[in-house]
Structure 1
Amino acid sequence: MTKVQKRIYSYSFLLPAAIIYLVIFILPTLLSFFFSMTRWTLFDYEFIGFDNYITFFNESSLNIGFRNTLIYAVVSCVLKLVLGLLLGVFLTSKIKTRNYLRSVLFFPTLVSTIAVGIAFSMMMHPTTGIINQALSMIGISGPDWLGDTRIALLSVAMVDVWKGVGFSTVIFIAGIMSIPEEYYEALQIDGGNGYNKFWSIIVPLSRPSMNTVIILSLVGGLRSFDLIWSMTGGGPGFTTDVIASIIYKQYQGGFYGLATAGNVILFIFVTALVYPLSTYLSRKEVDL
């Protein structure tokens, strides 16, 4: 068998995956770019150039949507990063119930996002919700979590953190457990304490796990829709509207080409933020 034949034979194993990737991802992406420049229905389309993009950027709620999307993504990402790291350190320590606690912490990740949104929208009700009822028992008057324009978006972000921090913790647990014991032994010989262990060993050598959590949480926050829609529907007013919910409202109104243009804009927006960040973070990783 010649060298060329060997290469063809090797690449042939990648062909099924390449075909699936082409059909499921590449082709729909290219079609989205095309149909974003049309006025289309299920059976017909009319090419209109960049009119959909111009109309979308003229949306009065778009500035609010971009701002809310960034706030939501940054808040949820930072909290998942910090809490995930701290919980990862705690759940890799020598506590007897750590396996049970890991299971409990990871459980919300397995629950449907829509189910979580509906449940918390009931729990956060200003009068009948269990959260405000519990606060009233200790003399605290709870706010209207999802109706107050000042805290509605942050309230939804907190629910997102509750649901997703278990996944972040699992990633950190894997990263921390992969650190060789020799580092800890060397620190102990040098007289280091828990503070030195955390900042000198765990934090720098968990950088790959941190980078993974940052990228996944940020992408998830920028694309978030289902939790926000099930809890607030973008309200009150446009207070919790994000880019994805604005796009969905365009679909509801039958403006399919406009909504497709919004999806393309969201794709470019996420890529423009995440790709350079991912490149920068990967350069900062510490090799074990």
Structure 2
Amino acid sequence: MTKIMKRTYTYAFILPAAIIYFVIFIIPTVMSFFFSLTRWTLLDWEFIGLNNFISFFQEPALTIGFKNTLIYAVVTCVLKVVIGLLLGVFLTSKIRAKGYLRSVIFFPTLLSTIAVGITFSMMMHPTEGIINAALQAVGMSGPDWLGNKSFALLSVALVDVWKGVGFATVIYIAGILSIPEEYYEALQIDGGHAFHKFWNIIVPLSRPATNSVIILSFIGGLRSFDLVWAMTKGGPGFTTDLIASIIYKQYQGGFYGLATAGNVILFLVVSALAFPLYMYLNRSEVNL
């Protein structure tokens, strides 16, 4: 087979995926940037330049939305890293029914986000919810989880962690199982204990897994919308409003160009935060 035939044969496999990627991702992305500069409806559009961006930054709730989004992303990311690592260590240790426990922890990841949000909003009801009922049974008074401004955003973030920590755990399990046994044998010869194994071997050598969990969780937190909307719709007030929920409210109001500009801003914000974080984590990554 000649070099030209080999190259043609290779491109023949790449071309279908490239076409799908171009149609589904590249074209909508370019169109989003264009329509963010217009006032458009389903039947017509008018070019208005940067007016949508100016109007979006004048949105009264935008400052709160940016702050809530950053807090939400950091809290969910940190908790998924910490809990995922601890569960990963536990589920790679010598315990019975590891396969079953792994399935149980990963199961919430498979559930519909909307269904999870609706279920937990009922469970967190201040008077009829099962969570406060359980607290009352042990003599404690539970708060209004989703109606109290001090608890609402954290409550939604904890539900997000419950749903997504299984995926982080699977990544950590793969990272921990990839560590060569020679490291554990050397530690045992030196008289190391379980804490030394965790701190001196598992934590540094599972760094690639940690980097993956940080990046995926942080980006997911910045883009989060469906769980927040299902549980609080941004309330009480603007307490749980994220950038994505502000954008959705603009769509609901029929301000399609303004909402498209918000999506472009969200894309730029995620890129501006995620890419430097990705480069920093990769630069400091520990290699085996």
User: For this structure pair, what is the TM-score category when the shorter chain's length is used for normalisation?
Assistant: over 0.9
Aligned to 1:98: 98
Shift of 1:2: 5.0
Shift of 1:222: 0.4
Residue 12 (structure 1) aligned with residue 12 (structure 2): yes
Aligned to 2:171: 171
Distance in 1 separating the partners of 2:286 and 2:80: 21
Distance in 1 separating the partners of 2:133 and 2:14: 57
- Residue type at the aligned position of 1:274: A
Aligned to 2:42: 42
Distance in 2 separating the partners of 1:34 and 1:233: 29
- Residue type at the aligned position of 2:119: A
Provide the identity percentage. Answer: 76
Aligned to 2:197: 197
- Residue type at the aligned position of 1:204: P
Aligned to 2:238: 238
Distance in 2 separating the partners of 1:196 and 1:72: 33
Count the aligned residue pairs: 288
Q: How does 1:92-241 map to 2 (within 5 A)?
A: 92-241=92-241
Shift of 1:4: 4.7
- Residue type at the aligned position of 2:177: M
- Residue type at the aligned position of 1:236: P
- Gap regions ≥5 residues in structure 1: none
Cα deviation code 1:36-71 (max 9, x no counterpart): 000000011000000000000000100000000000
Shift of 1:284: 1.7
Shift of 1:8: 3.9
Shift of 1:268: 0.4
Cα deviation code 1:19-38 (max 9, x no counterpart): 11000000100000000000
Aligned to 2:64: 64
Aligned to 1:285: 285
- Residue type at the aligned position of 1:141: S
Residue 257 (structure 1) aligned with residue 257 (structure 2): yes
Counterpart of 2:96 in 1: which secondary structure?
Answer: coil
Distance in 2 separating the partners of 1:242 and 1:196: 41
- Residue type at the aligned position of 2:267: F
Aligned to 2:85: 85
Aligned to 2:21: 21
Distance in 2 separating the partners of 1:2 and 1:113: 51
Cα deviation code 1:113-137 (max 9, x no counterpart): 0000000000000000000011011
Distance in 2 separating the partners of 1:239 and 1:171: 32
Distance in 1 separating the partners of 2:266 and 2:253: 19
Task: Give the alignment's TM-score, normalised by structure 1.
Answer: 0.98
Shift of 1:15: 1.1
Task: Give the alignment's TM-score, normalised by structure 2.
Answer: 0.98
- Residue type at the aligned position of 1:16: P
